[in-house]
Amino acid sequence: MGKKGVLLVNLGTPDSPEVKDVRKYLDQFLMDERVIDVNAFNRTLLVKGIIVPFRSPKTSKLYKEIWDENGSPLLYYSKIQAALVQEKLGDEYHVELAMRYQNPSIQSALDKMKAGLVESIKVIPLFPQYASASSGSVIQSVMEIVSKWTTIPPVSFVNSFHDNELMLEVFAENAKKYQPETYDHVLFSFHGLPERQLLKCDHTGNYCLKKDNCCETLNDTNKFCYSAQGHDTARLLAEKLNISRENYTVCFQSRLGKEPWVQPYTTDVLKKLAAEGKKRLLVFSPAFVADCLETLYEITVEYHEEFKALGGEHVQLVESLNDHPKFIDAIAEMAVS
């Protein structure tokens, strides 16, 4: 019998922090029809004519701030995760790592599995909460590639793992070292999405952004909603850490453009908390399984400086899952289930 294939896929990272590589990364990322979900002509005009030329030099400077001797932190930790999952699962499994954008590519990872004659493929997009622009894009890409094979082995996908117990335990353990009870407020800051992408996931057409607090409770109508899954992750983490509802806020960072994105925006929450006299904030970023630009720079540097300028004292990031043994166990369990 052949080995069982396990494909781990994270978002991606430039090959280097230099402008030319950042430009290639942003171009591939933002030209994805699920990321900027407008018609092809407008997407091309927006991405190639405006966003990539203007953002690449700025984004390059930010990547240079977090790039270290190991290269991209996201790729570094993702490689470790894949290697540790391979070690955990043993010789009966063939584990590959891919990035949705840039390298190692999904195509190259699947080619290795095909050459290795795997008997099945389990695809695990490394995004705890489902979104069309992340997990959905990975699933579509894998299906497009494998659909062209003459012989297609059984292929299955992990849709999301926003409530995975081991994942929650890691975030809680990482937080306890900072003594959450000593902070004035806790933020669960998720990567943002345009509101229109949430609306597209509401197949009833009369629930998303039409019901008060529509994301606060996970139910049959919003069970695949990124925001609702994020709120559920935050609720579960707060319960583990005995954080009362009035002492934490779910918010969304990394907004791009002027159209409405999922709210509240993290920057607005910082202003509100500073105005209320809050001084010390503890911040989780539970949409990421490895530290990256959004955690190591956007939260640790930008939000910290912004909050201090508003009169606050400190913004403390709770580090991501990275190479924590329990998260490796979580991935392994998903791989064999």
C-alpha 51/C-alpha 59 separation (Å) is 11
Q: Do residues 236 and 169 lie in contact, with contact meaning Cβ atoms separated by under 8 Å? A: no
Q: Is the peptide bond before 104 cis (omega within 30 degrees of 0)?
A: yes
Strand order in the sheet with 120-125: 93-101, 4-12, 120-125, 155-157
Q: Which helix (H) or strand (E) holds 27?
A: helix 19-30
The answer to whether the peptide bond before residue 264 is cis (omega within 30 degrees of 0) is yes
Is 191 annotated for ligand binding?
yes
Residue 218's CB is within 10 A of a number of other CB atoms, namely 19
Residue 314 labelled as part of a binding site: no
DSSP 78-129: HHHHHHHHHHHH-TTEEEEEEEEESSSBHHHHHHHHHHTT-SEEEEEES-SS
Q: Which of 284, 28, 268, 80 is nearest to 175 (CA)?
A: 284
SS3 at position 315: strand
Residue 239 Cα to chain centre, angstroms: 22
Cα gap 14→63, rounded to integer Å: 9
CA distances from 48 to 12, 23, 105, 273, 275 (A): 19, 10, 22, 38, 40
Beta-bridge partners for 71 = 68
- Residues belonging to the binding site for Fe(2+) are 191, 294
- Residues belonging to the binding site are 191, 294
